[in-house]
Amino acid sequence: MRLMKDVLPPEILNVKTRGLQSADWHEQLDNAVPQIREELEKLKAHGSAGDYLDIESLEKSLDEWPSHGALDSQEAELRYRTRMLRGLSVGRFVRYADEQNE
């Protein structure tokens, strides 16, 4: 920030808040519901993914997908952004790792 001290006003230079990475996450997920459902079907059919994930719970969350505006709540962020996306990441990794070990 020292490089910008002569360019930016102090009220901008001294701001300590941080932005939210991927703030449009809900829009991206809204558009990806069919792909998410497809991935959950693959995980259900996979032998060991269920050892690591509660796939039924993830499916229930997907079945209860809220309207666009309702995805802005803290509860929706935890349920969908955190839990759903991490679950899908773990599931895809498990499928990938199993394929590599065959």
> pLDDT tens for residues 39-92?
999 999 998 899 999 999 999 999 998 876 677 778 888 888 899 999 999 999
Which residue carries 């809900």 as its tokens?
Answer: 26
Residue 91 CB-density burial (10 A; 0-12 exposed, 13-18 middle, 19+ buried): buried
How long a stretch of residues is the chain?
102
pTM (predicted TM-score): 0.73
Residue 87 CB-density burial (10 A; 0-12 exposed, 13-18 middle, 19+ buried): buried
